[in-house]
Structure formats: C-alpha cells, structure tokens
Amino acid sequence: MQKKILVIAISSIWTGSLYAAAFDKTGQSVAAFLQPDHYFEASLGVTDTSLKGREAGTNSGNSAISDIGHTDYRPTAALKLQLAPQFSFGLLYDQPFGSDTEYTGNNSFVATGKDMVMLPGLTTTRLANATQGNIPTGNSKSSFDIQNLSLILGYQPNKNWNVYAGPVYQTFKSEVELRGNIFSVYNGYDLHSKSVGDWGWLAGLAYQIPEKAIKASITYRSEIQHKVNAVENAPLVDMLKTQQGRDLVDQHLDYMISIGQMSPQKKEALNQIVAGLAHTQDSGTTQFKTPDSVNLEFQTGLRPGTLLFGNVRWVNWSELNFQPYRFGEISKVVGVLSTPSRPDGFSLVRFYDDQWSANLGVGQRFSPQWLGSVLVGWDSGAGDKVSTGGPVKGYYNLGLGAQYSPTAQYFISGGIKYFWLGDAKGQLGAQAGSDYYVADFSDNHSISYGLKIGYKF
C-alpha cells in the first residue's frame, strides 16, 4: 500500500508544465490517465526564459539583442474515470507546443526608416514616399498557440496490462510580425490567423506490477494537419507592385550602374524579380502538420519509500514546415536572390532534426504527508541552427519537487527546474538549413515553476 501511494505521489510532481525547449512545452505525459480508480488533477506551469544574443554571421551589424523571451504560462488538466473494472476513460488538456518572442532595442530586427529594400540606398522611407505608403515600424515578434484535448478509452484485461487509444482535438492560432532591415522585402510582414481545430489520435500500451511499484507505458501521438486561412500583409511588396514603386527601383538601378555598382545584366534580373512580385497572389490556404511523437514513461521501486522514475521522448520536428501562403508565394520570387538560391521558396518556421529528450529522477517519502524528488534532464533540440520559432538548441536541466498530502484523497505539489539552454544560431527562412545565419544566441537559461493539485475519488 505504501508503494502504491508513493507511485501516485511521485508521478503527480513531474507531469506538469515544466518543459522549455523551443516549441515543445509540456512533454504530453499520460501518467494521469494511468492512475488507479477515479482521479482529477489541474496544474499551472510558469517559465521565465532569458534569450539574449548578438547579430552575427551574414548580418552586417554587430548589435546586441536583448532578451526576446516572454514569460510563459501553461495550464493543464486531467480527468480519469474507472467506468468498470476493465474499462477506463480519460480527458487530458494541455498546450503542448508554443512560442512567444519579441525583439526590442536597436538592432536589425526592429524597423527604422533607414532600413533597405533589396538594394543599398533604397530605403523604406524612399519607397513609402514614392508610393504614398506607410513606413514599417515596430518590433519583430511571433506567437504560436497550440492546444490539445485528448479523449482516451482504456481496456485493462487484468491488473498488469492497459491498452488505450482515442481521438485528439487540436487548435492552432498564430500571430507573426517581421520588422527590421534583416527582412528586406518582408519588413512589415504580418500574419494573423484565427483559431482553427483539427483531429488526430493517440494509442498506447502500459504494464504495471503494483506490489513492486513497477509501471511502464509507451504512447504514440499522430501528426495533425491544419488548414489555415490567415490574413497576411506585406506592405513593401504592395508598394513594389505599384507603377511608382517599379519606376523607383528602375531609377535606382540606373544610378547604381552609373557609379559602377551594378551591371545591366544584374539590373535586368532584378527588374524581373520586381515584376514577378506584382503577379504574386495575396491570399490562399496554408497547410502544415504539427509533429507526431512517441513517449516512453517508466518507474520502479528501489526500496520502501524510494522510487526511480523517468521518461524518454521523441518528436518528429524534422517534418515541420510552416510556409504561410503569401509568404511562400513571395519567397518563390525573391528566393533566387538568396544564398544559396532557393527558387522553390522557403519557410517561416522550419526545423531540421528530430528532437530527443530524457529525464531521470528519484522520489523519497519522508512522512505519510511529505515527499520530495530530484530530477535531471537532457534535450537534443531540433538542429544546430533554427529558423523563426525559438533560438535554442536543446538543454540540460535540474529539478526539485515536493508534495504535501493532508489526506489520502488529495494533494498539493510543486516543483522548480533550472535549464541550461544550448547555444544556437538564428536563421531566416531564406537561409535556414544552410551555413548562413544572422544572429548568435549563447549562455542563456530558463527557470520553470509548477504547481499542481490532485484529487483521488
């Protein structure tokens, strides 16, 4: 009985929102569904991240980039009902993926009237004055909000095995604003999408030996495809589409030829690109998939009152390719100017490696009411260089947790984790996947706090 209580208590400490790697936020545990009898829990995770860097690589500047990370608040909830001795039902709510960043200060990710448009000397101010347009202002920022509701039905043929599966409803919402000299014709670009929802599924298998506090589970979650009709604005492209904009570019190219900085052949190629921008479509449907994943969770008793627990997680980030419709149409035109050339366009968010993570902890009961735990973790990240969405390449972490149980029916638990975030090179969509980068982010860290309440009935 003591081992069973310890298993419930320890698993409740570290299944909250205490992850902090780029987009992957909660770890998507199903431990709450595998609790005995009826069970309910709710938690709130708060993550404070310091993400600082400096312009580097192909970026012509060398300015410091102040902290771009916003405080992240992430609630979760779970309800598990034992409908019959062999059948159980669960509802799991979480926000598994997300990002919220903003660039401030004096750097190439903040718009000014002196920002260049494709060519040296052709500024946003000149283009706006010639076309009666508005000069892009403000900071680059992005937010991605993804929420899941998992409905699970489990079958337990005996006390040791549990087979479970069910549908997953997922919503997606995003806002992106690109500003600054580094984005060239995308300076001033906005993407605003309304919340859309689509379905996926999960399936898993669990095995336990209750009298030895042994439990293990493996869970697969499918990819989920979304179709988004977002509002996209590209004001500099709209200005270049006008006759006044094309005339200004042509005159500026003639000036560059006259001072020996441009060849007639190069002028012809650039004029063709500007003409190509005039034929891009302004709206269309964006399709992309959030990644599938596999979770392995385990625990075993070491001695009376002591439990070893952990998990291993794989996320298929290498398949993520978020290319908003108009963003992509523009990229197919200007991509021929990038290095290397990208005539097929590029993406707003792209990762290039799958993510692996692992956590291992030890829990100890100190009294019938109190227990504590310590946890270490590692995350591979999703590649050495990352495009828009989070300049972090994995992490190491160390966590401490404690739980107080006034009665056998309910508990309150809390935990804190410190993350040593991996150094990363920030890339733009045009360059992502190549050796080109525009910023270095190094020596960063994150601290997460979690609070959970649970009730057994």
- Position 343 in a domain: yes
Q: Which of 296, 289, 295 is nearest to 318 (CA)?
A: 289
Give the domain range for residue 340: 52-67+102-146+157-164+172-413+422-442
**Element housing 356 (H / E):** strand 355-365
Separation of alpha carbons 419 and 417, rounded Å: 6
For each of the chain's 457 residues, which pLDDT tens digit applies?
Answer: 444 444 434 433 443 333 334 578 889 999 999 999 999 999 999 999 888 989 888 888 889 999 998 899 999 999 999 999 999 999 999 999 988 889 999 999 999 999 999 899 999 999 999 999 999 999 999 999 999 999 999 999 999 999 999 999 999 999 999 999 999 999 999 999 999 999 999 999 999 999 899 999 999 999 999 999 999 999 999 999 999 999 999 999 999 999 999 999 989 988 888 999 988 888 899 999 999 999 999 999 999 899 999 999 999 988 888 999 999 999 989 887 665 677 778 888 887 789 999 999 999 999 999 999 999 999 998 765 555 545 677 899 999 999 999 999 999 999 999 999 988 877 775 455 556 778 888 899 999 999 999 999 9
234 near 326, Cβ under 8 Å? Answer: yes
Q: Residue 254: phi, psi to the nearest 5?
A: -60, -40
71's tokens = 């405080």
Largest Cα span, the chain: 88
Kindly state whether residue 87 falls inside one of the protein's structural domains: no
Kindly list the distances between the CA atom of residue 71 and the CA atoms of 49, 200, 420, in Å, as whole numbers in the listed order. Answer: 7, 29, 17
Instruction: Provide the pLDDT for residue 387.
Output: 52
- Residue 2 pLDDT: 46
- The pairs formed by 188-191 with CB atoms below 8 angstroms and a separation of 24 or more are 188/111, 188/124, 188/136, 188/233, 188/234, 188/235, 188/236, 189/232, 189/233, 189/234, 189/235, 189/327, 190/231, 190/232, 190/233, 191/230, 191/231, 191/232, 191/324, 191/327, 191/348
Name which of 169, 148, 171, 156 is nearest 204 in CA terms: 156
Residue 355 lies in a domain: yes
Q: Which residues contact 77 (CB under 8 A, 6 or more apart)?
A: 40, 41, 42, 43, 91, 92, 93
Name residue 72's beta-bridge partners.
47
Answer whether residue 383 is part of any domain: yes
For residue 226, being part of any structural domain is answered with yes
End-to-end CA distance of the chain: 16
Helices 124-131 and 243-258 sit at what angle, rounded to 10 degrees? 130
Check residue 24 and give its pLDDT.
82
For residue 170, list its beta bridge partners: 148, 198
Identify the residue whose tokens are 């385990």.
298
Rounded CA separation 45/27 (Å) = 12
- What is the total count of domains within the chain? 1
Distances (CA, A) of 339 to 84, 346, 353, 432, 436: 62, 12, 21, 10, 8
Residue 130 resides in a domain = yes
Domain presence at residue 42 = no
> Hey, how many other C-beta atoms are within 10 angstroms of the C-beta on 18?
28
State which amino acid sits at residue 445. Answer: H
Report whether 317 contacts 386 (CB < 8 A).
no
What distance in Å separates the CA atoms of residue 311 and residue 306, rounded to the nearest whole number? 17
> Which residue carries 């997606």 as its tokens?
172
Do residues 290 and 146 touch, judged by C-beta distance below 8 A? yes
Per-residue confidence (pLDDT) for residue 10, from 0 to 100? 40
